[in-house]
Amino acid sequence: MAELAAIALAGNILQFLEVGIKLTRTATRAYQSTDGFIKEDRDFLADTERSRKLACLIQQNQWTPEEHYESRLDDSLMETANICEAYASELVTLLDSMRLKSGGFRGLQSIKISMLRQFKARDVRNLEVKMIAARDNLMLALISTSYVQQSSALSAIRQLKQQGAVLEANTTSKLESIENLIQGVASIDSDGATTMITHLDNLATEAKQVKRQHKLLKTLRFPTIRQRHSAIMEHHKATFQWIFTSTETGFGEWLESGGGFFWVKGKAGSGKSTLMKFLATHVETEIRLKTWGKGQKVITASHFFWNAGTPMQKSLTGLFQTILYQVVKVCPELIDMVIECRKDPSDLMLVEPWDDDELRIAFQRLSSLESLPLHFCFFIDGLDEYTAGKQRYTGTFEELLAPLRVLASSPSIKLCVSSRPWNSFDKEFGRLEWKLQLEDLTREDIRSYVTEQLGANQKFQELSNNNLQCSEIPETIVQRAQGVFLWVFLVTE
């Protein structure tokens, strides 16, 4: 973001020059005053520190020749930055020589300093004139290069917006704020320049963070990250509404006040994935989780294992990257935490791909974010479809359950998981307070679905009018389904 760095540098230079001019004028008033001498010294001390810091910022904002060329920054601006570096040293040396030191005879020091100030009054006035000239030159340089800088900066911001749309990053409003300010730079006068560019300086820092966020998201995203979620059938409009209010399942209560795991178990084809997609995206889930969060930000994320899919769709690597991707997408304050889990801290550009150990550490570290006001609720579907990325799995699912246990141990994290009622999962979740057997609860959903589907079928209606026994078909389907929604779908089709 060299274009925005140029604006940031200009902001620091303007701040430095304004402080320097203020200091020299304050010094002049002190020379002419016979009282309030110590108060002026205290003001000098505070402003000197500020000028030191601004001088450091100017030095830190120097960039390489490649970046200079890339930003097409006018040489006048770079020259002003170098001049300010020299002025910083001159100003700090001058002010340090004209303030009271701690200890010693303050009366004698005051007389000595007073005489020194009279002697150096011309130096102070000359420095003020030079700083005013530098400020005016800076404004002229900014005006002369404003069009090029605006175009470059706007192009960079718009490119970030396009990346954000592809990565589904929650950064659009922030980038639009920066874009609007950049468009206004050319029309400001010298009086408003410092305020505007200082604001842009802060936003430029945010833009760099956005670019860093996009870079991290690219390393976590994989081509099939949403394929399984998109392939799952949408719920029928009359189904699953009961889950939020049913005292039998307790799911609504778990969302609002429960913790740890909630286990959705069911036969193959009973609609577990459809239910999990429904829960992960329903507004009622969000509303009830806000009660649990007690004013803190609640982040939801989901992953859907699929044993018929790619290795990433049935492995821990896919789980880790999917959850971390969704979390970082809406919570950029976690960027540093995730990047710190890299084995090579010097890989700031994230060139090397993630390995499973790095991902596991980052995934499990979500459970120890006590310093951040965050709560997490994760929906993980199809634990039984996990195969460690292989064609056939012969393990005990322990490597899958272990990192989930770590998360569930945190009071700020809860997980809703689904699976078939296999031994490994029954052993892990069977004694939980929070669980449901899906096929025991969907009879009315199936009845509503069958009635609507057959009722909308003209041929079935004609057959029913001629044969009264046809009216028994819907109930027969409900009884024989035994909670297997997939069978019902195939029969009605």
Chain segment 425-471, per-residue pLDDT in tens: 999 999 999 999 999 998 888 888 888 887 777 777 777 777 777 77
Query: Total structural domains in the chain?
Result: 3
Is residue 247 domain-shared with residue 115, that is, in the same domain? no
Last residue of a domain, one of 163, 189, 220: 220
Is residue 126 domain-shared with residue 172, that is, in the same domain? yes
- What is the residue range of 336's domain? 227-438
Last residue of a domain, one of 402, 420, 438: 438
Is residue 125 domain-shared with residue 109, that is, in the same domain? yes
Find, among 336, 376, 343, 346, the residue nearest to 213 by Cα.
Answer: 336
At residue 89, the pLDDT reads: 72
At residue 1, the pLDDT reads: 55
CB of 335 closer than 8 Å to CB of 362: no
Is residue 214 domain-shared with residue 311, that is, in the same domain? no
Last residue of a domain, one of 192, 220, 248: 220
At residue 99, the pLDDT reads: 58
Dihedral pair phi/psi, residue 298, rounded to 5°: -110, 120
Sheet holding 413-419, edge to edge: 297-304, 374-381, 413-419, 260-265, 435-437
Separation of alpha carbons 201 and 207, rounded Å: 10
Q: Could you tell me the CATH number of the domain that includes residue 389?
A: 3.40.50.300
Is residue 467 domain-shared with residue 356, that is, in the same domain? no
Contacts of 435 (CB under 8 A, 6+ apart): 262, 263, 264, 265, 429
Is residue 52 domain-shared with residue 179, that is, in the same domain? yes
SS3 372: coil
Is residue 280 domain-shared with residue 337, that is, in the same domain? yes
Is residue 476 domain-shared with residue 362, that is, in the same domain? no
At residue 57, the pLDDT reads: 56
The DSSP code for 409 is T
Q: What angle do CA 459, 464, 470 make, to 5 degrees?
A: 115
CB of 382 closer than 8 Å to CB of 393: no
Is residue 422 domain-shared with residue 461, that is, in the same domain? no
The DSSP code for 260 is E
Separation of alpha carbons 298 and 374, rounded Å: 6
Single pTM value for the model: 0.68
At residue 209, the pLDDT reads: 73
Separation of alpha carbons 354 and 349, rounded Å: 12
Is residue 397 domain-shared with residue 252, that is, in the same domain? yes
The tens-digit pLDDT sequence of the chain (493 residues) is: 555 566 666 666 666 667 666 666 665 555 454 443 445 555 655 655 565 565 555 555 554 444 444 444 456 666 776 777 677 677 767 766 665 555 554 444 455 555 555 666 777 777 777 777 777 766 666 555 544 445 555 555 555 555 545 445 555 565 566 556 555 554 544 455 555 555 555 666 666 777 777 888 888 999 999 999 988 888 777 689 899 988 888 999 999 999 999 999 999 999 999 999 999 999 999 999 999 999 999 999 999 999 999 999 999 999 999 999 999 988 988 988 998 898 886 666 677 889 999 999 999 999 988 878 999 999 999 999 999 988 888 889 999 999 999 999 999 999 999 999 999 999 999 999 999 999 999 888 888 888 888 777 777 777 777 777 777 888 888 888 888 888 888 888 7
Other C-beta atoms lying within 10 Å of the C-beta of residue 237: 10
CB of 130 closer than 8 Å to CB of 17: no
Is residue 272 domain-shared with residue 351, that is, in the same domain? yes
Fill in the amino acid letter for 432: L
Task: Please name the residue that has the structure tokens 């704020």.
Answer: 177
Separation of alpha carbons 232 and 276, rounded Å: 10
Task: Please name the residue that has the structure tokens 């550009």.
Answer: 349
Is residue 298 domain-shared with residue 183, that is, in the same domain? no
